[in-house]
Amino acid sequence: MNIGEIARRAGVSRSTVSYALSGKRPVAAATRKRIQDVIDELGYRPNATARALKEGRTRMIGLVIPPAGNRLTHMQLDFVGSVVDAAARADLDVLLSPSGGDHDRSFERLISESRVDGVILMEIRLQDARVGRLLQARLPFVGIGHTTDDRAMCWIDVDYAGLVRHTVRHLADLGHRKVALISRSPELVAAGYGPAIRAREGFTEAVRERGVEGVEVACGDDARSGQESIEGLLRAHPDLTAVTTVNEAALPGIQRALADAGLSVPYDFSVTGVAGRLWAEDFRPPLTAADVPAHDMGVQAVSLLIERIAAPHTPPRHILLAPPVSLRSSTGAAPARPAAGPAPHPGGAGAPRA
Amino acid sequence: MNIGEIARRAGVSRSTVSYALSGKRPVAAATRKRIQDVIDELGYRPNATARALKEGRTRMIGLVIPPAGNRLTHMQLDFVGSVVDAAARADLDVLLSPSGGDHDRSFERLISESRVDGVILMEIRLQDARVGRLLQARLPFVGIGHTTDDRAMCWIDVDYAGLVRHTVRHLADLGHRKVALISRSPELVAAGYGPAIRAREGFTEAVRERGVEGVEVACGDDARSGQESIEGLLRAHPDLTAVTTVNEAALPGIQRALADAGLSVPYDFSVTGVAGRLWAEDFRPPLTAADVPAHDMGVQAVSLLIERIAAPHTPPRHILLAPPVSLRSSTGAAPARPAAGPAPHPGGAGAPRA
DNA sequence: TTGTATGCGTTATCAT
DNA sequence: ATGATAACGCATACAA
């Protein structure tokens, strides 16, 4: 079924059908009705490929996600969902491309075959070859995260350094003298993954600024790794009384390990960090944390990209989001004695909390 | 950059460039090299849109996912990831369409504008209008899940009825006399969502077959709902000693509620069900469960779809997966006395498990 | 108000 | 072994 067939059945020319559909030129009411009737009867919709070829744009955007090997975190998942929804609202379709390494067939297809009008690039590393490729291909794009050399590109990011700094200050103000940062996976840290590196920056700064002792550990994006991180930390640092984390997927493990060690939050031990709101609220007790606005980021990334597609040569815009740290119940005054042997307290460790 | 420009610079005709690229007709070695040099220099790649128009296929498949409002479960996420990976391996791109309702712009665009060569439809309900639309549009598709009237379509599904039946028998064999099914959200159940309905079927059958008492509750796809479900069940049924569930996202809440109630798994209470492997292994103690093979399903769905695109008129194939129930540590003999007041046992409730 | 003709970038048929 | 050309389905400049 194509526009020619509609025209034939309605007894008009193809251009009249086209104009009746687009409204870009007046069509007599009677003619329009005749055309519409045929269209309704046959369920005709213009072929997207032909239209794309003619118009020079596909009405699709590419979303470059980490490959399935590394499973996405909930935050990333929310982000993908909100991008797809925001794009749908703008009548744009989303083409998914799993890409992590630099030599990637799917990524190359995406950007060099004119399949999409623009790209949203997730999981940017501090040095990222894909940014160069995108720039070179002159394809509009928005990065989630920013490279060290970020002037030439549009990006939107969470201010991990600032937020971690904020949480460490909060802990220091509560009297904690030794705090740990539970970061992302060793692989991501080694690869120069922005949030991990910038979290470290903020941590290091705040720790020095407040004169507290700081220790950083890498931690896989799963509960088990979180558990092992805490176990290792407690072994190596019996005087540790607080952690801050940018690894939301580790939170259930962190919780379990603390419970197993007989440490009650926040009486014996404080936990804070940067995480999606649902993770934070799901923590026991609810986590004092900066809530990563994954949904907002998706929506904003799409509108930034649409803007960029419309005006590719305007100077790139950057959005650094610093959501407030929501004070919930997982942080408290440092225990009188360090955590090694928990001090007695109301509703303490071991007793069922029913 | 287009094929004409390459042809001009290489001093040949456009068709020669095309044939040099496709290899569908012999090209003199010297000519081929000349062409290749120009292509390498300019980084030319054929325009996907033009090729799609000419060839009558887009080399894209559509993946219809639930809208972002309902956040995806990990199992669904794994599925999406494996579909994208499997498709990439076959040089297919994946177009995402969030669609739940029946009147859906994105879904209609996908199927009636020839944007994709085929569709994978997630989250099928027992009666699903989208199946009819797809059939009517003569677009090859594979359903994840099957409708009641499933003869006309290709599908792949997990045998929820059989698996739940299996787990209930297992519990009955261990001496449990009253078991509960924790199902999916009330909305999904009401909408006639296949896994929820079929889980009920298997549950009802097995309960009758073994002469045990069965109670079913709907439960949202999140930890909090899981927790509330267990709390409600324990209140209403003090003699309950076991649950089976098809709601993996509820597992952390189930675990927490049982711990809060001072019930130790599997000594006081048994838990089993159908869940992704990671969720099962993350349970404490590891969950005796049928592991949903989300990754396999994605891979198989893609190859089924590719097959169907190649031969649209062969009789539709159906794949019903029944993964084995992995015996881990969350099920045990029914307690001598019902769970109301937990009996003493080794490593029982309340004591830190360090 | 409507029709005719052209071109988007490719692949494939026909001709040489 | 290679070149000229038609066609895929659409949108639009130009003509009437």
Beta strands per DSSP E along chain A:
60-65, 93-98, 118-121, 141-144, 154-158, 178-182, 213-217, 242-245, 270-275, 288-291, 318-321, 325-326
For A276, phi and psi rounded to 5 degrees? Answer: -65, 150
Percent of chain A surpassing pLDDT 90: 76
Q: Which of residues 314-353 of A touch B (CB under 8 A)?
A: 349-353
| Average pLDDT rounded to a whole number, residues B202-218 | 98
Average pLDDT, chain A: 91
Tell me: do B312 and B273 sit in the same domain. no
Q: How confident is the model at residue A331 (pLDDT cuts 50, 70, 90)?
A: very high
pLDDT of residue B223: 86
Q: How confident is the model at residue B100 (pLDDT cuts 50, 70, 90)?
A: confident
Residue B142 amino acid letter: V
pLDDT of residue A69: 64
**Contact of A339 with A274, CB cutoff 8 Å:** no
Bigger pLDDT: A348 or A202? A202
pLDDT tens across A145-191, in order? 888 877 889 999 999 999 999 999 999 999 999 999 999 999 989 98
Percent of chain B surpassing pLDDT 90: 76
Find residues whose C-beta atom lies within 7 angstroms of strand D.
A 2-4, 14-15, 18-19, 21-22, 24, 46-47, 50-51, 53-55; B 11-16, 19, 25-28, 30-32, 50, 53-54, 56
pLDDT tens across B236-278, in order? 999 999 999 999 989 989 999 999 999 999 999 999 999 988 8
Q: Is the pLDDT score of B70 beyond 80?
A: no
Residue B21 amino acid letter: L
Note whether residue B277 is domain-resident.
yes
Q: Is the pLDDT score of A121 beyond 70?
A: yes
Q: How confident is the model at residue A319 (pLDDT cuts 50, 70, 90)?
A: very high
| Average pLDDT rounded to a whole number, residues B31-35 | 97
Sorted by sequence, the CB contacts under 8 Å of residue A15 that are 6+ apart come out as none
Residue of B88, B115, B222 with shortest CB distance to A48: B115
> CA angle, A68 as apex, A64 and A69 as ends, to 5°?
125
**CATH code of B42's domain:** 1.10.260.40
Instruction: Report the candidate in B326, B185, B173 with the shortest Cα–Cα distance to residue B242.
Output: B173
Tell me: do B65 and B49 sit in the same domain. no
Note whether residue A329 is domain-resident.
no
Note whether residue A216 is domain-resident.
yes
Bigger pLDDT: B343 or A294? A294
Pairing of strands B93-98, B154-158: unpaired
As beta bridge partners, residue B179 has B214, B242
Closest Cα in chain A, distance from residue B47 (Å): 5
Count of the separate structural domains present in chain A:
3
| Average pLDDT rounded to a whole number, residues A31-50 | 97
Tell me: do A94 and A111 sit in the same domain. yes
Give the domain range for residue A88: 60-158+295-321
Note whether residue A139 is domain-resident.
yes
Q: Which residue has the tokens 């059945």?
A: A9
Do the chains contact at A77 and B71, CB–CB below 8 Å? yes
Tell me: do A263 and A174 sit in the same domain. yes
Tell me: do B80 and B178 sit in the same domain. no
Tell me: do B170 and B280 sit in the same domain. yes
Average pLDDT, chain B: 91
CA dihedral A121→A126→A127→A130, nearest 10 degrees, is 0
Q: How confident is the model at residue A124 (pLDDT cuts 50, 70, 90)?
A: confident
Distance from CA(B53) to C1'(C6), angstroms, rounded: 18
Minimum mean pLDDT among A59-63, A192-196, B215-219, B229-233: which range?
A192-196
Tell me: do A127 and A196 sit in the same domain. no
Q: Is B85 on the interface with A (CB under 8 A)?
A: yes
Q: How confident is the model at residue B103 (pLDDT cuts 50, 70, 90)?
A: low
pLDDT of residue A350: 39
Note whether residue A36 is domain-resident.
yes
pLDDT tens across A183-214, in order? 999 998 998 889 999 999 999 999 999 999 99
pLDDT of residue B44: 96
For B244, phi and psi rounded to 5 degrees? Answer: -125, 145
Q: How confident is the model at residue A347 (pLDDT cuts 50, 70, 90)?
A: very low
As beta bridge partners, residue A157 has A320
Q: Is the pLDDT score of A341 beyond 60?
A: no
Note whether residue B350 is domain-resident.
no
As beta bridge partners, residue B217 has B182
Tell me: do A185 and A234 sit in the same domain. yes
**CATH code of A205's domain:** 3.40.50.2300
Grouping H, G, I as helix, E, B as strand and the rest as coil, residue A95 is: strand
Distance from CA(A180) to C1'(D4), angstroms, rounded: 73
Q: Which of residues 221-250 of A touch B (CB under 8 A)?
A: 222-224
Name the residue closest to the C1' of D12 by its CA: A15
Q: How confident is the model at residue A127 (pLDDT cuts 50, 70, 90)?
A: confident
Q: How many CB pairs under 8 A join A and B?
A: 152
Instruction: Please give the residue of chain A at the shortest CA–CA distance from B47.
Output: A113
Instruction: Report the candidate in A210, A203, A209, A211 with the shortest Cα–Cα distance to residue A180.
Output: A203
Mutate to test the interface with A, among B49, B111, B113, B139 (most CBs of A within 10 A): B49
pLDDT of residue B349: 41
Token duo for residue B206: 């097995």
Q: Is the pLDDT score of B299 beyond 80?
A: yes
Note whether residue B237 is domain-resident.
yes
pLDDT of residue B125: 86
Tell me: do A254 and A173 sit in the same domain. yes
Instruction: Please give the residue of chain B at the shortest CA–CA distance from A298.
Output: B68
Nearest nt to the B113 alpha carbon by C1': D9
Residue of B53, B97, B352 with shortest CB distance to A50: B53
Tell me: do A207 and A242 sit in the same domain. yes
Count of CB atoms within 10 A of residue A232's CB? 14
**Contact of A214 with A186, CB cutoff 8 Å:** no
Tell me: do A107 and A143 sit in the same domain. yes
Q: How confident is the model at residue B354 (pLDDT cuts 50, 70, 90)?
A: very low
Do the chains contact at A60 and B95, CB–CB below 8 Å? yes
Distance from CA(B352) to C1'(D9), angstroms, rounded: 70
| Average pLDDT rounded to a whole number, residues B297-322 | 95
pLDDT of residue A281: 87
- H or E element at residue A53: helix A48-55
Q: How confident is the model at residue A289 (pLDDT cuts 50, 70, 90)?
A: very high
Note whether residue B34 is domain-resident.
yes
Q: How many angstroms separate the CA atoms of B130 and B155, rounded? A: 14
Q: Is the pLDDT score of A352 beyond 50?
A: no
Q: Which residue has the tokens 């005796």?
A: B288
Pairing of strands A242-245, A288-291: unpaired
Percent of chain B surpassing pLDDT 70: 93
Tell me: do B16 and B101 sit in the same domain. no
Q: Which of residues 129-188 of B touch A (CB under 8 A)?
A: none
Instruction: Report the candidate in A121, A95, A120, A122 with the shortest Cα–Cα distance to residue A109.
Output: A95
Distance from CA(B117) to C1'(C10), angstroms, rounded: 18
pLDDT of residue A277: 87
Do the chains contact at A94 and B91, CB–CB below 8 Å? no
Q: Is the pLDDT score of B122 beyond 70?
A: yes
